[in-house]
Amino acid sequence: MTDIPATVLEPEAGPQPTAEERWRALKTVSPGDVVYRTVLTVFALLLPLVLVTIALELGVNAWPAVSKFGFGFLTHSTWDPVRGEFGALPLIVGTLYSSLVALVIAVPLALACAIFLTEFAPRWLRAPVATLIELLAAVPSVIYGLWGIFVLIPLLRDHFWPVARHALSWLPIFSGVFYGPSVLAGGVILSIMVLPYIAAVSREVLLAVPPSQREAGLALGATRWETVWTVILPYGRAGIIGAVILGLGRALGETMAVTMVIGNRHEVSASLLQPGYTIAAAIANEFSEAVSDMHLSALFLVGAVLFLITIVVNAVARVLVWRVARGSAVGSTAI
């Protein structure tokens, strides 16, 4: 046995740091860390700042129109820049109507696609088909508009309507003469554009359903379809509703494609075959050529209405989707 040198046992001769001093030394953060975290925080703060600024700018610039027209702005349907009278009812109705048409067409299809991609498709087919559907979301809006003008509208007018007229023309929503640019065309274009969003988010929601649920359904003797319909869809219901609302948010704010095919007329009509107008389309067409300050202010006000609707719609959708797939970036990655 050899003697252990005293210096090994007590490396630090002299006064020992107290427990408190050691604790403080451990807790000390490098100054670089403080700077780093502060800089990142400042950048991150820019996002809420921009959101608040957008809201403020819209509010301030819309104020002249609010104080002049008040609540009647939302219920009147005269839009006369020359006489300075503005009522946004046709814009609001047109926006909601075209989005509704889009959802009626897109939701069943998108849901069926999501079910196909998670339940029924053979494995090798899933990734390619999912990519193709997601690519629909990558196509620029203006290209949908171009295609809408030169392909979809002639198709609807010359091939769909002559055949469908006999069966549908008794319905009030299909009354009147069909010239082409219409709420119907806008809704169909929108349905193609929002389908990939709804399908992608629903798919992620369905993927987040625990396998045990699926297995339990099958073990009870349900067919695969019965499992989907009675177990999986109810389990993901909140998320699927979230996906639909997310799609609605997209449809409400979509600008170019709708502007190019909806006909741009300030009129409220129940018929899908008549031209309509949306908030986004009115801003796109009139903003840079506003004839007076009040005209501009009215456009700011409809912009503010659109902003409010989409904020609420998106917030609700996110909360619903997050509840199903907590913490993951569901929705963001798909979009």
Sign of CA dihedral 314, 320, 321, 325: positive
Q: Which CB, 2 or 41, lies closer to other proteins?
A: 41
- Report the nearest approach of other proteins to the CB of residue 116 (Å): 4
Q: What is the DSSP string of 179-244?
A: -S-SHHHHHHHHHHHHHHHHHHHHHHHHHTS-HHHHHHHHHTT--HHHHIIIIIHHHTHHHHHHHH
Residue from 67, 139, 7 nearest 293 by CA: 67
The site map against other proteins for 58-87 (x = CB under 8 A) is x--x--------------------------
Q: Which CB, 101 or 117, lies closer to other proteins?
A: 117
Q: What is the DSSP string of 30-44?
A: PHHHHHHHHHHHHHH
Contact pick of 84, 120, 162, 292 for other proteins (by CB under 8 A): 120
Q: Which CB, 269 or 297, lies closer to other proteins?
A: 297
Q: Is 283 in the site for other proteins (CB under 8 A)?
A: yes
Contact pick of 10, 23, 72, 150 for other proteins (by CB under 8 A): 150
Residue type, 301: L
Residues 162-181 that bind other proteins (CB under 8 A): none
Q: Is 160 in the site for other proteins (CB under 8 A)?
A: no
Q: Which CB, 42 or 171, lies closer to other proteins?
A: 42
Q: Is 307 in the site for other proteins (CB under 8 A)?
A: yes
* Structure token pair of residue 76: 């009147």
User: Which letter does DSSP use for residue 150 in this model?
Assistant: I
| Site size toward other proteins, by CB under 8 A | 95
- Report the nearest approach of other proteins to the CB of residue 95 (Å): 10
Q: H or E segment at 80? A: strand 79-80
Residues 180-199 that bind other proteins (CB under 8 A): 192, 195-196, 199
> 3-state SS of the chain: helix, strand, coil percent to 5?
75, 0, 25
Q: Is 287 in the site for other proteins (CB under 8 A)?
A: yes
- Report the nearest approach of other proteins to the CB of residue 5 (Å): 27
Report the C-alpha gap between 276 and 289 in whole angstroms: 20
Residue type, 272: L
Binding segment for other proteins (CB under 8 A), chosen from 10-18, 69-77, 234-242, 325-333, is 325-333
- Report the nearest approach of other proteins to the CB of residue 208 (Å): 15
Collapsing DSSP to helix, strand or coil, 176 comes out as coil
Q: Is 39 in the site for other proteins (CB under 8 A)?
A: yes
Q: Which CB, 268 or 284, lies closer to other proteins?
A: 284
Binding segment for other proteins (CB under 8 A), chosen from 75-83, 114-122, 171-179, 205-213, is 114-122
Q: What is the dihedral of CA 235, 238, 240, 242, to 10 degrees?
A: -160
Residues 44-63 that bind other proteins (CB under 8 A): 44-48, 50-51, 53-54, 57-58, 61
Report the C-alpha gap between 316 and 335 in whole angstroms: 17
Q: Is 25 in the site for other proteins (CB under 8 A)?
A: no
Residue type, 242: G
Q: Is 200 in the site for other proteins (CB under 8 A)?
A: no
- Report the nearest approach of other proteins to the CB of residue 217 (Å): 12
Half-sphere exposure of residue 320: CA atoms within 13 angstroms, side-chain side? 21
Contact pick of 151, 171, 219, 220 for other proteins (by CB under 8 A): 151
